[in-house]
Amino acid sequence: MSQPSAHAGSLSPTRPAGAHTVMAMQRLVGVTALALLVGCGGGGTSLVEESTERADAACACEAFGCTTEHVAWFNKVSITQEGDLDALSVSDREAYMANSLRAADCQIALN
């Protein structure tokens, strides 16, 4: 009867058991990091896009209560994502601020 290999349970005779798991985890971390970079638009474009969507939604409301979730989003971002806002380009920051003010104006108009 043959002796068990030192690499028993390994998928490759040249790698120790568990090496494939480590490699898979490294790939997962790399793919996740890439997805985050792409999702951020390389400088906050997604924040500007979401601010536009939030302002549009607030302005589409027909009742004050409908606007509160959208305006609250701007407040939350201002507090919890200050670094992301600071990282925006000047034009993106201006677009974000214009959307914030537009959402507030639409809310005030319904009050």
Give the pLDDT confidence of 23-49 residue by residue, as tens digits: 555 555 544 443 443 344 444 469 999
Nearest to 51 by CA among 107, 111, 92: 92
Query: Whole-prediction pTM value?
Result: 0.60
CA 3 to chain centre: 52
d(CA 10, CA 58): 57
The SS3 assignment for 108 reads helix
The SS3 assignment for 56 reads helix
Per-residue pLDDT of the chain (111 residues; tens, 9 = 90+): 555 545 454 454 565 666 556 655 555 554 444 344 334 444 446 999 999 999 999 999 999 999 999 999 999 999 999 999 999 999 999 999 999 999 999 999 999
